[in-house]
Amino acid sequence: MKLKVFLICTGLGHVMRGYESFAEQAFQALSKDPSLDIILFKGGGKRKAKEIPLWNLARHTRTACRIAKYTKTSAYIVEQISFFFSLIPYIQTEKPDVIYFSDNDIGNFLAHWRRFTKQSYKLLFCNGAPLRPKSPIFGNCDLIQQVAPQHYHNCLKAGIPAQKQTLVTAGTEIIAELQMLMPSEKEALRNKLGLPEKTPLILSVGHISKSHKRMDYLIHEVASLPEPRPYLLLLGQQDGSSTEIIELGNSLLGAENFQGRTVASHEVANYYKIADAFVLASLSEGLARVFLEAMSYGLPCIVHDYGVTRYTFENEGYFGDFTHKGSLADLISQVLSENGNKSRFYQRHNFVYERFSWDKLISSYVEMIQMVAN
| 98 in a structural domain | yes
Task: Say what the pLDDT of residue 287 is.
Answer: 82
What residue numbers bound the domain in which 33 lies?
3-173+357-373
Q: Which residue ranges in the chain fall short of pLDDT 70?
A: 340
| 178 in a structural domain | no
Task: Say what the pLDDT of residue 264 is.
Answer: 83
Helical ranges in 225-288 per DSSP H: 242-253, 268-274
Task: Say what the pLDDT of residue 286 is.
Answer: 82
Task: Say what the pLDDT of residue 156 is.
Answer: 94
Cα dihedral sign for 318, 320, 325, 326?
negative
Which CATH number does the domain housing residue 96 bear?
Answer: 3.40.50.2000
Partner residues linked to 99 by β-bridges: 6, 123
Do residues 301 and 351 share a domain? yes
Do residues 158 and 216 share a domain? no
Does pTM surpass 0.85? yes
| 277 in a structural domain | yes
| 347 in a structural domain | yes
Q: Angle at CA 65, nearest 5°, toward 63 and 70?
A: 95
Task: Say what the pLDDT of residue 211 is.
Answer: 86
Helix count and strand count (H, E) for the chain: 15, 13
Task: Say what the pLDDT of residue 328 is.
Answer: 97
The number of folded domains in the chain is: 2
Task: Say what the pLDDT of residue 110 is.
Answer: 97
Do residues 109 and 245 share a domain? no
Do residues 279 and 289 share a domain? yes
Among candidate residues 277, 268, 274, the one with its CA nearest the CA of residue 317: 277
